[in-house]
Structures are given as structure tokens and as C-alpha cells.
A = this chain, B = another copy of it.
Amino acid sequence: MTTRRPTIAKFTRREFEDRAERARRLMTGARLDGLLLTSESNLEYLSGFTTQFAWNSPTRPWYFLLPRVGPPLAVIPEIGESNWRATSWVANIQTWPSPRPKNEGLDLLRGAIGKMRRRYGRIGFELGPETRIGMPVADLLRLRRTIRRFTMVDGASVMRELRLVKSPAEVARIRQICQIVSDSFDALPGMVQPGDSERDVVGKFQADILLRGAEKTPYTAIGSGRGGYHSIIMGPTDRKLREGDVFLIDTGSRLGGYFCDFNRNIAIGPPTDAVKRAQDTLTLATDAGIRAIRPGNRASDLFAAQARVLEEAGYTIGNVGRFGHGLGKVMTEPPSNRADDPTELVPGMVLTIEPSLRFGRGKILVHEENAVVTETGCRLLSRRAPRAMPIIRF
């Protein structure tokens, strides 16, 4: 295996200017004078600032302010200035010597907000569904009390809308990590040795993904059991894999700040008839889900298409709550492929198709692929799994 990383095409300055421009149009629509961003995905999406540090060390918060009118501004700890300048298109930076527990950049933020042009009197913060704010809540509430010309409102809906449709450059990155992980999945059967535990297999699989060029593999779950597994989001545990097992590995791995999210199922020795029938049905449900991806359809149609196949085959739907979701800078993004999600599909949206079913005694089988919506349908980003479950022979 090569140890040279694949090249990642840089995002152009134009890419970021387009994102900021679209953000501002959405802000006008939402009557926001500014957006204050603190979470990895939103801050990186608009500023380009790339770091591992800020998201692993909660001591210091990092702020990005995008006014509807006027230049964007980074308010960041002094330690991050050279990292910011090397990765972001935004040259306008204010820093403070952090850690400084009594005032972690709040005075700078207040000053910057105080100079913003006021039209609506509203600033969007990351408050709404599926967000995690990247600053202490106590500081957020303190800031809210002191920015008297502006009200703190939700900006998550603007960010959701902004990030829902991916640019060609974003899709290329997602495709790149999907292809790397497809290669690792192809190699996976050869990594599993008799006596290996779930932890052993996941360790080798994660290392393989990194050696092929992924930057991180934040999520690599495994489920295993005789004739099938019971959880799709667990592990790895110390359980040893044995003849007669079926196991799943599901990974959200990352390249250039973008995720893949798909799994594969593997049998050790010939699978039972129950497993084979479940696998066949899931494959058909996946086909149906992929066929349903086209502009004009809704997330709910993707759910319905997959559910129909499972129900016609007599299976109970699992406890996952949806049959896939959006994918991008976060492993799970809106929309949800649920019966009640009306999100309309448009070209450039990246989605997972992820049917799951229950069988046997509390067992579950899941299958997932990643695709981008095109003008006429979709293009798979993951390399479609073989229709029959691969078999390892110990």
C-alpha cells in the first residue's frame, strides 16, 4: 500500500466568497444583521480556518463573525493566529492572550458587534436543532446581556440552508473519502484473523483508512454476533470474532473536513438462510432508495421507497428512526429520510441511503451507501457493496 496521501484540491478563494455571499442573502431573508459562529463545521465552512486544536481543547473558544454588511472578522486566541493566517481567506483578525478565564474574548466580541451596522437588530447564533455551540453557555448568556442593540436569535436555520447543497468542490472531497473507505472495505476481509477481537479488527481497519489518506476516522463502530448483531452504533468491544458470526463495520471517516458515512456487512463462514434473506431484502431496499433520489422528490419519498420493500418482505423496521440523512462536514446532517421530513431534493445535496430491518431474536441488519443528487437522479459516491454478503473463511 502506498504511504503517499492523495492530493486534496484546495478550495479557491472564490469558493469561500460565494459561500459568504450566499450566507448574506440568506441572512437578509432571515432578517439577521450578523452570524456568530463557534462550531467546527460552521466556522470552517465560512472562514476556511482548519485546525484540530480548537475542537479538542475546550479551554479557549474561537469566534467568527460574519456581518450582513462589512468585512468578516475572526476573534481568536493568540495561539491560533499563524494557523488562522495559513488556512483562512479572512485577514481581519483580533486576538487575545488566552487562557484568560475571566474574559475569553468577550470584550473583543462585544466591541466588534457594537460596530456592526444595525438594520434588523438581530444576530444569529448556533441555537437550533442539530447544533452544538462551541463556547460555554455562561459566556453566551453574558454576551447576550451586553449587546443591547441586538437580539440573540437562532442562526442555525440559515446555516442549515446554506450547507444543504454542496458545491462541486465539496462533492469531490466527499467522493474522495468515500473512495478511500471503499478501498479499505474491499481490503477488510483480508485483515481479519482467527482470534481477533472487535477491537483488533477496528484497530487494523482504522489504520488502513489513515494509510490510504484519510485525515481522521472519528467514527468506526462494529457489531458482531452469531448469525447477526444487535446494535449498529456500538463497539469495538473485546468480543472475539468466530465462525458463524455476521459483523458490521460502519465508519464516518474524514478528508479535507468532509465525511463519508457507510457500512459493510461480512459473514465469517456461510451465512444462515435468515441472514441471506435479510441481506437480499436490504439490497433491494437500497436499490429502491437510490432510484428514488432525484430532484423534486422529498426526503420522505426516500423513506417510503425503502420502507415499502422491507414491509412487502414482511420485516419490521428497526429503532434507527430514519433510513438515511444528509452528509457533509458533519457525519449526520439534515435532512432525515423519515416519513415526515418534507425536504425537497435538489442537485448537489449529498445523502445516505440506509435501510435497516429487524430479524431473528432482536437482531438488526443495516446497509448504507452515499450519493449526490444530480440533475436527473443521483451519482453514487461510495462504491456499491456486492449484492451477496462477503464471506471470510477462517
Residues on A facing B (Cβ under 8 Å): 3-5, 7, 51-53, 56-59, 77-83, 86-87, 97-101, 104, 125-138, 140-141, 154, 156, 193, 196-197, 199-200, 203-204, 206-208, 210-211, 213, 215-221, 230-234, 236-238, 252, 319-322, 325, 330-332, 336, 338
Contacts and interface: CB of A to CB of B under 8 A. Distances in A.
A196 to B, nearest CB: 8
15 contacts: A3-B193, A4-B200, A5-B238, A57-B219, A57-B330, A58-B332, A77-B321, A79-B232, A82-B230, A83-B231, A86-B234, A127-B136, A128-B136, A137-B140, A207-B211
Contact of A233 (B79, B219, B338): B79
B133 A132 contact: yes
A51 B130 CA distance: 18
Nearest to A41: B58
Nearest to A7: B238
- For this chain, the copies found in one complex come to 2
Contacts of A137: 125-127, 131, 133, 137, 140
Contact of A132 (B52, B83, B98, B136): B136
A306 to B, nearest CB: 16
A58 B131 contact: yes
Interface of A is mostly: loop
Contacts of A127: 136-138, 141
A216 B58 CA distance: 18
A302 to B, nearest CB: 14
Given A52-B233, A59-B336, A97-B321, 12 more contacts: A3-B196, A57-B330, A58-B332, A79-B319, A82-B234, A126-B137, A132-B132, A132-B136, A137-B140, A203-B211, A204-B211, A206-B210
Most buried by B among A215, A221, A233, A322: A233
A338 B325 CA distance: 45
Contacts of A53: 219, 221, 233-234
Contacts of A80: 233
A138 B86 CA distance: 34
A343 B131 CA distance: 33
